[in-house]
């Protein structure tokens, strides 16, 4: 009877050893919840991942001529990395009156460190450029790119009310009244109107109309012909504000 039990014990032992070997040899796979999500790069950071050949750095953002209005005036300058560069020299200037004044130049070390963030001085124009350094020689500097700040509050964009977009009129004479909601604290409004060919691509503009009565939120005129037209309105600012952005264009047309 004793010999009958020994093979069973041996099988059990071999089975336990096999299970332990399988566990130890199986690679560990993290669960989906434990895996880190891929980092999402902002557009500027994505753009600077591609290196350029040795030479003047290629600037990325803010784009040349960009108008900025956020506050604080924290500004990130970004450029494409340059092959073989070990550092970059960033030059910044601000315009005061008719003269440009320089910040101290900043050296950014590391080939892939192709951005620099700082707080700009005020509501005025600035400009910047970058030079690459490969440890021995400096590249030519990039071109100067400009930006500007205006952090004064902006008037809201008017909401157009009448006529509805793409409304069609058949009456003659072609008198039409354009109206919009009043913008609180606006000093007046600028109304822009255009008449267009049937394709709505080729258009000609009427002279802009300035309404100086802040309580008036409509404008009546005689349209030029049996064709499409479009219009939009901008709120004009009072002291301490700047003009709003124009509304989107709204279309109408006359059949006769």
pLDDT in tens, 106-136: 999 999 999 999 999 999 999 999 999 999 9
pLDDT > 70: percent of the chain: 81
Given a cut of 90, is residue 3 above it in pLDDT? no
pTM: 0.59
Residues 182 and 232 in one domain: yes
Domain total for the chain? 2
| Confidence at residue 194, expressed as pLDDT on a 0 to 100 scale | 98
- Domain membership of residue 19 (yes or no) is no
Residue 3 lies in a domain: no
Determine, yes or no, domain membership for 89. yes
Dmax (CA) for the chain in angstroms is 119
Residue 39 binned pLDDT confidence (cut-offs 50, 70, 90):
very low
Residue 12: inside a domain = no
Q: What is the CATH number of the domain that holds 247?
A: 2.60.40.10
Nearest to 86 by CA among 114, 127, 47: 114
Q: Are residue 216 and residue 142 in the same domain, yes or no?
A: no
pLDDT(206) > 60: yes
Cβ neighbours for 81, distance < 8 A, ≥ 6 positions apart: 48, 49, 51, 52, 111, 112, 114
175/244 same-domain check: yes
Q: Are residues 133 and 208 in the same domain?
A: no
- The answer, yes or no, to whether residue 15 has pLDDT greater than 70, is no
Q: What residue numbers bound the domain in which 143 lies? A: 43-149
- Do 110 and 130 reside in the same domain of the chain? yes
Q: Is residue 227 part of a domain?
A: yes
Q: Is 62 exposed, middle or buried (0-12, 13-18, 19+ CB in 10 A)?
A: buried
Q: What Cα–Cα distance (Å) separates residue 31 from each residue in 23, 28, 35, 82, 114?
A: 17, 10, 7, 39, 35
């Amino acid at each position: 009877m004793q010999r009958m039990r020994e093979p069973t014990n041996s099988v059990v032992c071999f089975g336990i050893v096999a299970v332990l070997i399988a566990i130890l040899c199986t690679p560990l796979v993290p669960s989906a919840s434990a895996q880190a999500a891929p980092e999402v790069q902002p557009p500027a950071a994505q753009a600077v991942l591609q290196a350029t050949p040795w030479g003047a750095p290629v600037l990325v953002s803010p784009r040349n001529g960009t108008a900025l209005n956020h506050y604080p005036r924290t500004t990130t300058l970004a450029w494409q990395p340059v092959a073989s560069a070990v550092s970059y020299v960033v030059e910044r200037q601000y315009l005061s009156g008719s003269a440009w004044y320089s910040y101290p130049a900043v050296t950014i070390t590391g080939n892939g460190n192709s951005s620099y963030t700082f707080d700009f001085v005020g509501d005025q124009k600035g400009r910047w450029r970058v030079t690459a350094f490969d440890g021995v020689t400096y590249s030519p500097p990039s071109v100067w790119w400009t930006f500007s700040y205006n952090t004064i509050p902006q008037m809201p964009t008017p909401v157009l009310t009448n006529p509805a977009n793409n409304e069609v009129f058949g009456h003659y004479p072609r008198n039409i009244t354009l109206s919009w909601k009043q913008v609180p604290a606006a000093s007046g409004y600028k109304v822009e109107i255009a008449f267009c060919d049937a394709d709505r691509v080729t258009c000609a503009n009427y002279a802009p109309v300035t309404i100086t009565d802040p309580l008036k939120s409509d404008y009546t005129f005689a349209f030029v012909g049996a064709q499409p037209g479009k219009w939009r309105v901008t709120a004009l600012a009072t002291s301490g504000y700047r003009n709003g952005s124009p509304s989107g264009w709204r279309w109408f047309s006359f059949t006769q």
